Structure 1
């Protein structure tokens, strides 16, 4: 598959309603099947927001922390990545922190949550996996 990364600057100038990146390879974010399945379950609830917003904030044990929210809004700075009918919203700043990562939904006995794994931008993280330090 030929890379289309040269189109990204032009795509980002479009209004949010026009930005639709159908291949996660354009931004090098891997959306796992478990993430898609969980978002499809959430879409069945009419009161649930349409998009999963992934962000990175300062804080946490290691300096930065991942943040996941369900959202109905897209700003001009956002990138929308779609896979199998679900949409992930990431702002440009966050993309720099998670490029090359995998977004998944993980279930355990004590909790279930979206999470970022295999982040090549992260040097170290805390044991819970919610925070990280940048390389």
Structure 2
């Protein structure tokens, strides 16, 4: 994991690296703040996969918004949130790629080698 915790807000943590990169993206054109949307979808080699998208639209009333001290935001829809409560979101830069990633998810029982998909714990979504 790169960086220290930037924000712990209602169970979702953004690392300093994540918050810094999101702030840089938001500042690039200045038209509207960019926020990172994290969603969980069925699929991937372990059952569920993380989907990250950048958006400039306002969050909906059903979304949970997490803000770092520098104003960076991550938005998660209510259903996906059940699968990522307590997770840590990081931004990693490597020689061949750079990406946002979930580096620690207490709702995951298993994960694939690349970390893009996971198997949810029993009870992660009320079951």
TM-score w.r.t. the length of structure 2 is 0.82
Q: CA deviation at 1:25?
A: 3.9
Length, aligned pairs only: 113
Distance 1:62 1:118, change over 3 A: same
Q: Which has the higher helix share?
A: 1
Structure 1 residue ranges without an equivalent (≥5): 1-22
Gap regions ≥5 residues in structure 2: 1-5, 122-127
**Highest Rg: 1 or 2?**
1
Maintained 8 Å contact 2:38/2:50: yes
> Please, which moves more after superposition, 42-51 or 89-98?
42-51
Q: How does 1:1-135 map to 2 (within 5 A)?
A: 25-46=8-29, 50-73=34-57, 74-83=59-68, 84-135=70-121
Structure 1 outlier segments of 4+, above 6 Å: none
More strand by share: 2
Cα displacement (A) at 1:103:
0.4
